[in-house]
Chains A and B, each alone.
Chain A
Amino acid sequence: MQDNPVNKLFEKRVSWLADSGPEDDIAISSRIRLARNLSNIPFPSNAISEQLDSATASVLVAVEKLRLFRKFYEIDMSKLSPLDRQVLLERRMISREFYSKKQNTALVMTDDEICAIMINEEDHLRMQAILSGLRLGEVWKIIDKMDDRLSTELPFAFDENLGYLTSCPTNVGTGIRASVMLHLPGLVLCEQINAVIQAVNKLGLAVRGIFGEGTESLGNLFQISNQSTLGETEMQIMDRLESVIRQIINHEKNSRQKLLQNRREFLMNHIGRAFGILRHSYIVSSEETLNSLSALRLGVDMGMFSSLDIHTVNELFVMVQPGHLQKFAGKELDPSERDIFRATVIREKLKASEKK
């Protein structure tokens, strides 16, 4: 019996949050995923159980034969508890769709959480690579190589004109979705964020809040990604995305500077109160936590907290989520118990960082 890999993961820091990367005060992480299908098996939504299992087997055999990864886990998703699946979702190793699918699905992921392959999500393979900071070029090198090697063992569905064939026509062609997670509290406080979102949408890129549904965005975390996957090379898609991201980063820096110059007390008050809540509450909701963490992160970026480093705050964004809280507590917690436990975890973590 194999040990539960999620337990092992849980003991470690999330690498894409704990490592430093370029521009990581604003760009938290860069991620690329590629959608690929096997040409000889119907796409997952139209395949029967035996076909899905044979897709899983082919991918796992290829991964092992190629020695694709040095240290990795193979996880049968149907054998994982809902809580463990939620932990993987919160660490962004799996998608929401994959989280709820579970039958005939498997996950291959590296020990360092940089690479992952979801098997039988919407497509037979959804591979991803993720690094901290703004590093789309490096992420591309990793995933491009992974894809090249897999393609020597697996018959990927490919058409001369349409490129890689995918279950949804929105992904056809390159099958690429490149995204960067940005922390934009300055633009939100200056009420500039909607203008930025609209401008980005006009350029054919998508903006999504990381937490919260629709337009509401808790924690001021946004994910910017490409929409079009056909008619441009992967490089063109990433260059276009990166140039827009760099502009947004500059706008964010300007708004922070403006706030500091023109509304200094307002800004200090906003950050100071957030720190007070996080450091001293005994009951704190997920919403209040995410928004306060955002303000705290802004304060750390601006050098207001000498003893706190940004990665501690980054990690708290993941640790305070329901799956991680319950895993940490070692038992199920109802929402009101979670609010109490969340406050405890944050207090301890902030206290520990003061002693350093």
Chain B
Amino acid sequence: MLCEICHKNEATIHIQEIINSQKKALHICQECASKKNSGNGMFNGLNLADILYNISSNISNPQPSTEQPQDKTVTPVPVITCDKCGWTTANFSEKGRIGCANCYNVFREILSLALKNMHKGTIHVGKRPGARRPGDEEAGRNAIEIMKLQKQLEEHVLREEYEKAAQVRDRISSLKGKTKKGR
């Protein structure tokens, strides 16, 4: 799929938003996304509200495409409110910020796509609060390995290499077992 802004590069960033139960999608490349981002010198890092709103408002009506494989898996997001702090999906979209620690559970599904695009991985492998325990380092290495394998697994499945996929899956589950025992 080509980037909807420059129509040149492959789109690697996919943004979806739902306003009044109307779904809008935007597919852009890294370069256009960073251009959009660097236009505003005050922010360092990717600003979620900027990406979610400013970019997509530039594009009034993206072509409703039938050949987007990702659309099948995405279901419209209903308005959700955090039971601890009252933060809503609307607050989140408007400010690009989260209300409290609990919001990360409440908005987990909406966040997961955004996090995938923003960061190198989806699982924390860095330090933890409190005193360091022996085995933490190994657990960290395992987590990194698991993440790499999961990517491989997805690729094998896409290429319909099911035998290889099964091997990778077995390695993942054995690594996961090790991590649990270690803790």
Chain A residues close to B by CB (< 8 Å)? 37, 39, 41-43, 45-46, 96, 122, 144, 147-148, 151-152, 156-174, 176-177, 201-202, 204, 206, 208-209, 212-215, 225, 227-234
Contact = CB atoms under 8 A, between A and B. Distances in A.
Interface in B107-132: 111, 114-115, 118-132
Interface string B80-102: 00001111000100011111110
B47 A170 contact: yes
9 contacts: A37-B101, A42-B99, A46-B91, A152-B131, A168-B45, A170-B46, A177-B45, A204-B120, A230-B115
Contacts of A167: 97-98
A159 B108 CA distance: 12
A39 to B, nearest CB: 5
Interface string B32-46: 001000111110111
A118 B144 CA distance: 32
Contact of A165 (B47, B101, B131): B101
B5 interface: no
Contacts of A230: 115, 118-124
B126 A173 contact: yes
Nearest to B132: A148
Contact of B104 (A96, A151, A159): A159
Contacts of B147: 231
Contacts of A206: 44-45
B101 A157 contact: yes
Contacts of A209: 41
B116 to A, nearest CB: 9
A231 B122 contact: yes
Contacts of B40: 214
B126 A174 contact: yes
Interface residues of B, number: 46
A215 B35 CA distance: 10
Given A163-B124, A169-B111, A172-B115, A46 B100 contact: yes
B119 A231 contact: yes
Given A96-B42, A122-B97, A165-B98, A228 B120 contact: yes
A170 B118 contact: yes
A202 B35 CA distance: 12
B101 A144 contact: no
Contacts of B96: 168
Nearest to B124: A163
Contact of A161 (B42, B123, B132): B123
A163 B129 CA distance: 9
Interface in B137-158: 140, 144, 147
A176 B125 CA distance: 13
A157 B86 CA distance: 18
Interface in B33-63: 34, 38-42, 44-48
Interface of B is mostly: loop
A231 B125 contact: yes
Nearest to A209: B41
Q: Which of A37, A204, A231, A232 has the most CB of B within 10 A?
A: A231
Contact of A232 (B38, B87, B98, B125): B125
Contacts of A177: 44-45
* Those 7 A-B pairs whose CB atoms lie nearest each other, nearest first: A231-B121, A163-B124, A157-B101, A230-B119, A151-B129, A174-B126, A42-B100
Contacts of B97: 43, 45-46, 122, 167-168
B87 to A, nearest CB: 6
A163 B126 contact: yes
A277 B115 CA distance: 49
A52 to B, nearest CB: 13
Of B91, B125, B129, chain A has the most CB atoms within 10 Å of the CB of B129
A151 B130 contact: yes
Best-buried of B40, B85, B86 by chain A (most CB within 10 Å): B85
B152 to A, nearest CB: 15
Contacts of A46: 85-87, 91, 97, 99-100
Contacts of A169: 48, 98, 111, 114-115, 118
Nearest to A171: B45
B98 A225 contact: no
Nearest to B147: A231
Contacts of B120: 204, 228, 230-232
A346 B114 CA distance: 48
Contacts of A163: 124, 126
A169 B104 CA distance: 9
A43 B104 contact: no
| Most chain A beta carbons < 10 A, residue from B30, B98, B140 | B98
A167 B38 CA distance: 21
A233 B126 CA distance: 4
A261 B91 CA distance: 58
A202 B33 CA distance: 11
B142 to A, nearest CB: 12
